[in-house]
């Protein structure tokens, strides 16, 4: 499997007209394959393994917000990065998750080939599954290198996607509170 990926990267380099035997490139297929495996490591993780039982009883019902979680993913259309940040909010109903776990959930789904819309939804669904809250809100803001480096070359466009579940979907005041807090 590793060998196969290295061979593929060699072929790619050859196809763009590179001399794969020159010094700077000798180990590139190996390094590129390792990097690509790392960036797609989320396929080998599950919500269960990521949570690792870090779900705790708590009788608060106040909104929990985790803001500015860094996000690095690869678009499935061009295999180019999209990078940005993710904001997660939920309304606990007896259970909360460890703060770092929110970041780990984001990472697990980001390290798969993605479109931003699906990534956003998957994060929201995972929080819903993990703690069954009264509502979940996820907003992702990202810049896509496939937009910035090629094609239309829109260097400064930021794509924003959101997924609202439960009370964040049904109650405008709850949604507004969340959006105010993340934009502060
Ligand atoms: Zn793309």
CATH of residue 16's domain is 1.10.286.10
- Residue reference for tokens 């937009």: 147
Active site residue 44: no
What's the CATH code of the domain at 168?
3.30.1130.10
Strands 135-144 and 113-114: unpaired
Question: Could you report the per-residue pLDDT of 74-125, keeping only the tens digit for each?
Answer: 999 999 999 999 999 999 999 999 989 999 999 999 999 999 999 999 999 9
Q: Is 116 a catalytic residue?
A: yes
| Separation of CA 119 from chain center | 6
Q: Is 144 a catalytic site residue? A: yes
C-alpha of residue 94 to centroid of ligand 1, in Å: 40
Q: Span 33-42, mean pLDDT?
A: 97
pLDDT score at 92: 97
Give the distance (Å) from ligand 1 centre to CA of residue 151: 10
* pTM metric for this prediction: 0.95
pLDDT at 24 over 90: yes
Task: Let me know if residue 44 belongs to a domain.
Answer: no
Task: Kindly state whether residues 163 and 129 are assigned to the same domain.
Answer: yes
Domain that holds residue 23: 2-39
In whole angstroms, give the CA distance from residue 30 to residue 3: 8
pLDDT at 153: 66
Report phi then psi at 161, rounded to 5: -130, 150
One domain for residues 85 and 157 = yes
Average per-residue pLDDT for the chain:
95
User: Does residue 87 share a domain with residue 30?
Assistant: no
Residue 24 lies inside a defined structural domain of this protein: yes
Distance 144 CA to ligand 1 centre (A): 7
Residue 1 has pLDDT above 90, yes or no: no
Q: What is the pLDDT of residues 53-66, one digit of tens each?
A: 899 999 989 999 99
Dist CA 94 CA 56 (whole Å): 8
pLDDT at 162: 98
């Amino acid at each position: 499997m590793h060998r196969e990926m290295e061979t593929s990267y060699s072929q790619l380099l050859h196809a763009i007209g590179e001399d794969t035997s020159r010094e700077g490139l000798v180990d590139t297929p190996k390094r590129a394959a390792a990097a690509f495996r790392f960036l797609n490591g989320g396929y080998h993780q599950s919500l269960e393994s990521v949570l690792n039982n870090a779900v705790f009883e708590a009788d608060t019902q106040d909104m929990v917000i985790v803001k500015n979680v860094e996000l690095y993913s690869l678009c499935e259309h061009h295999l180019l990065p999209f990078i940005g940040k993710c904001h997660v909010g939920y309304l606990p109903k007896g259970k909360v998750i460890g703060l770092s776990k929110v970041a780990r959930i984001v990472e697990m789904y980001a390290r798969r080939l993605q479109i931003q819309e699906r990534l956003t939804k998957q994060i929201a669904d995972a929080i819903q599954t993990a703690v069954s809250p009264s509502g979940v809100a996820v907003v992702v803001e990202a810049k896509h290198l496939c937009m910035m480096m090629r094609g239309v070359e829109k260097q400064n466009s930021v794509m924003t996607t959101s997924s609202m579940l439960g009370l964040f979907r049904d109650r405008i005041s709850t949604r507004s509170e969340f959006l105010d807090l993340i934009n502060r």
